[in-house]
Amino acid sequence: MTIEELAKFDGREGRTAYVAVNDIIYDVSSSQRWKNGHHEGIHQAGHDLTEELKSAPHVRTVIEGFPVIGKIENKEAQKQQPATGIPLLSIIIMAFVALLMIVTYMI
């Protein structure tokens, strides 16, 4: 799940409440302390709370007690993957067409 997708799970208007901590996504919907996606009037569900948790009055194990939903996807890792499949095929076809045009004009 991306950060953008996580934002949809803000706990408002009956939506599920998810928070991320250290790239792990937790479902806090069942907690009365996260009613309507708000926690203690300070935190909002649908966000990465890694930094905020560092100053929280409770330990990280409180969050870790909630069900794990998944992990935050790393966009940088996705960008580094080599292009394959259809984009590569498109390049090959374009090169072939360019070669045919060159050969046609030379005759």
pLDDT tens string 16-75: 999 999 999 999 999 888 888 888 777 889 989 888 877 776 767 788 889 999 999 875
Check: CB of residue 7 under 8 Å from CB of residue 20.
Answer: no
Does 102 map to a domain? no
Query: What's the domain range around 25?
Result: 3-80
Hey, what amino acid is at 67? P
**Domain membership flag for residue 105:** no
CATH number of residue 42's parent domain: 3.10.120.10
Domain-embedded: residue 46: yes
Contact 60, 21 (CB under 8 A): yes
Instruction: Establish if 90 belongs to a structural domain.
Output: no
Residue 35 lies in a domain: yes
- The pTM assigned to this predicted structure is 0.65
Please give the Cα distance from 12 to 37 (Å, whole number). 6
Residue 55 lies in a domain: yes
